[in-house]
Chains A and B, each alone.
Chain A
Amino acid sequence: MLEMLRQYISAYVALTGEEFAVLADKLVVREFDRRQLLVRVGEVEEYLSFIIKGLARMYFLKGKTEMITHIAKEGELIGSSSSFLSGKPSYYHVETLEPCTVLSITRANLERAYQESPKIEKLGRLVTTYFVLQKEEWELECMRLDTRERFLRFIGNNPELLTRVPQKYLASYLNMKPETFSRLKNHIKKRPVAGRP
């Protein structure tokens, strides 16, 4: 379990065994069934979680419509990150789509880890930078690409999600009508697509 996290971290900083232990000592393992809420709208997100196994989504309600803003799988972070960072109530629900095992750290413990190790603080900066960039990239894509292009790009990057995530959720995440999603999906079945250009 820890090895997976270690690998994830190594993309950002090289930690010594001791530095990694500063973080590892503060983690808790949490298990969830499918369809369980990790955090609700209005609650403050207390954890930042790394998914060992499973799949989760982040969404909010606009009227009666669920708007999905994020889907995360194994080897990725999940949580209402903005609420976790600000300590303010979450705008989003975070819910498991499959049974999940996650490694979590509380805000207070993460602060402690920053105090204890400058390398962990650096990791915090880089991961947060990644959050910003990811968000910006997503927004730019939504503006720049049309529906079909966004669909193809997403499927090219996450082919396995096509079978794991209910279609209506993927459609919501890509901000398109379920019918459009269906149509595009049938289209590529006939003509398999390569990954993104």
Chain B
Amino acid sequence: MAYSAATYQAALEKLHHYLQGHAPMTRHEFRQMEPFLEIREFDKRVRVIHEGEVERYLNVVAWGLARKYLPVRNKEITIQLASEGHMIHSELSFHYRVPSRAVVETIEPTVFFSISYDSLEQLYEQIPGFERLGRLMITDLFIKSDNRYFNQLRKSTRERFLEYVRNHPDMVQRVPQKYLASFLNIKPETFSRLKHLTRGKGAKERG
């Protein structure tokens, strides 16, 4: 799967756009970080990091779709789904430099913009203003993860399902049902039933 210079440029534009969503970033500032980026391509259903490896990269999805899961007693618990423009890596392993307990696996053929731990440290050292971008991206990640955590504890299965379908209709099309069910912590059977139910009613939203 080779990419042409044109598609590379297009992907970079997308990345710039995505980062702009977090903090203002001039083209010049963006150019400065370009040398630190690596492009990594994977086929579908490929493990990008295995359990027990130390995570070398922070990845942002340029194209495709990936999930992060935890192997627990012969089961895979999906804890994150990431489509274009979103960050996915084994965070604990990346930051603490310890073996990963999570696995990151592609669902579709996927291209990542990746930055290694050392490059990221260099970026923070060398480019003023990058610190802000990093802080804001991490803040965003924390708010999202807290939101998901709270929903899991507080909301009913049905509420979680409806909320997700409403907010991420595209993901419902792209992600295999069993992964979505695991991600939302809903039994596959229940997930199927809820899906049929919303179809029948034309996916009416809750008041």
Contacts and interface: CB of A to CB of B under 8 A. Distances in A.
Do A and B pair up? The answer is yes
Interface of A: 60, 62, 67, 69, 81-82, 85-86, 91, 114, 118, 121-122, 124-125, 128-129, 131-133, 135-137, 139-140, 143-144
Contacts, number: 73
Contacts of A137: 92
Contact of B138 (A60, A86, A132, A140): A132
Given A60-B154, A69-B153, A143-B70, A135 B146 contact: yes
B96 interface: yes
Contact of A85 (B134, B143, B149): B143
A132 B102 contact: no
Interface in B136-157: 138-139, 141-143, 145-147, 149-150, 153-154
A132 B131 contact: no
Given A82-B147, A91-B150, 5 more contacts: A60-B150, A67-B153, A128-B135, A143-B70, A144-B72
Contact of A62 (B91, B145, B153): B153
A82 B95 contact: no
**Is the contact region of chain B dominated by helix, strand, or loop, or is it mixed?**
helix
B132 interface: yes
A144 B153 contact: no
B77 interface: yes
**Is the contact region of chain A dominated by helix, strand, or loop, or is it mixed?**
helix
A135 B149 contact: yes
A176 B159 CA distance: 24
Given A140-B102, A143-B77, A128 B142 contact: yes
Given A128-B142, A144-B72, A139 B79 contact: yes
Interface in B167-190: none
Nearest to B152: A139
B101 interface: yes
B128 interface: yes
A50 to B, nearest CB: 18
B99 to A, nearest CB: 13
B8 interface: no
B164 interface: no
Contacts of A144: 70, 72, 101
A121 B135 contact: yes
A40 B96 CA distance: 34
A140 B92 contact: yes
